[in-house]
Amino acid sequence: MSAVGQAAGEAPARNPRPRGGLARSVRDSLVIAQRNLIRMLRIPEVVIFGLIQPIMFVVLFTYVFGGSIALPGAQAGDAQAYREFLMAGIFAQTVTFATAGAGAGIADDMHKGLIDRFRSLPMSRGAVLTGRTLADLVQTTLTLLVLAVVAVLIGWRSHENVMSVLAGFALLLLLGHAFSWIGAFIGLSVRTPEAATSGGLIWLFPLTFISNAFVPVDGMPAILQHIAEWNPFSAAVAGARQLFGNSIQGAPHSVTGAWPMEHPVLASAIWSVLIIVVFRTLAVRKYRSAAA
């Protein structure tokens, strides 16, 4: 029949050209992200409980510790100064704590055999992880938006223009996305969702508290001052404060002369990109080795 068709002047049917690797990977990642977002909507408790903790931290630190912490360059007991100092730290803590959720979600999918189903499909290997981290980024963005409204209600104010404020939140979300790749790697490395949750939190608490998020670094022992000022979390907090206009006038940028504290916005962006490159590579390699 093909010979007859060609003789009659019909053009031979052409198979559709396959999409390139990048286009296929993007499409598959968006499909997985959509699947995870739908799942989150069906379990609203996850979003609600994710909001309670940062709001609780805001209230406790603002009204319990706010009048007791002296800030360099600010008057003693200046609650408004501490409130503006604090909020960048709370925002940063909120986006990084999404790490535990990313790890637990991937570990849960593996435990239920869902990852094995994805492996049997003709889809990009990295799309499963990329889609999960993108869905977590959307959830974190919504959480950050609600938390910002709460912060405004308790008296937090920005002293920069709208674009600068948006850049500050973008810097924080970049850090959160980077840390979600750490969570993905942890989720692929453990056997149960409970272990992923514990593994995702146990190192976050020292990372966030040995930093400039909640108290000034100059009150720490000398060794902790150096650790805090080279901490990627501290760079994001300092960068957000700078973009929000919440830096204390007259206070030193760094007590140890650390480069990240002198250039916090650039340093935070560099830290985040490095973390994404390293842990995305490790996570995808772990996923592929588990699939072999």
Chain segment 39-70, per-residue pLDDT in tens? 777 777 777 777 787 888 888 887 777 667 77
Task: Report the mean per-residue pLDDT for the chain.
Answer: 82
Task: Give the pLDDT of residue 67.
Answer: 65
Task: Give the pLDDT of residue 179.
Answer: 94
pLDDT at 13 over 60: no
Domain-embedded: residue 245: yes
DSSP H helical ranges for 121-263 = 127-153, 162-189, 193-201, 204-209, 222-229, 232-244, 259-262
Average pLDDT over residues 113-142: 80
* Residue partners of 190: CB distance under 8 A and separation at least 6: 103, 107, 196, 199
Domain-embedded: residue 5: no
Give how far the C-alpha of residue 270 lies from the chain's centroid of Cα atoms, to the nearest Å: 14
pLDDT at 17 over 50: no
pLDDT at 138 over 50: yes
pLDDT at 16 over 60: no
Domain-embedded: residue 3: no
- Domain range for 130 is 21-291
Domain-embedded: residue 229: yes
Domain-embedded: residue 219: yes
Task: Give the pLDDT of residue 290.
Answer: 65
Q: How far apart are CA 205 and CA 97, in angstroms?
A: 9
pLDDT at 180 over 50: yes
Cα angle for residues 107, 146, 168 (degrees, 5° grid) = 90
Task: Give the pLDDT of residue 116.
Answer: 67
- AA identity, residue 28: D
Tell me what percent of the residues of the chain surpass a pLDDT of 70. Answer: 85
Chain segment 193-206, per-residue pLDDT in tens? 888 888 878 899 89
Chain segment 196-235, per-residue pLDDT in tens? 888 878 899 899 999 999 988 988 999 999 999 999 999 9
Average pLDDT over residues 149-178: 92
CA distances from 31 to 87, 184, 192, 290 (A): 34, 18, 25, 22
Domain-embedded: residue 175: yes
Q: How far apart are CA 64 and CA 113, in angstroms?
A: 46
Domain-embedded: residue 217: yes
User: Considering its fold, how many domains does the chain have in total?
Assistant: 1
Average pLDDT over residues 165-189: 93
Chain segment 253-290, per-residue pLDDT in tens? 788 889 999 999 999 999 999 999 999 999 988 887 76
Residue 17 phi/psi, 5-degree rounding, is -70, 130
CB 205 within 8 A of CB 109: no
Local confidence band at 3 (pLDDT 50, 70, 90 cut-offs): very low
Weakest-pLDDT range from 20-29, 50-59, 152-161, 216-225: 20-29
Domain-embedded: residue 107: yes
Local confidence band at 252 (pLDDT 50, 70, 90 cut-offs): low
Local confidence band at 29 (pLDDT 50, 70, 90 cut-offs): confident
Chain segment 81-104, per-residue pLDDT in tens? 888 888 999 999 999 987 887 788
pLDDT at 25 over 60: yes
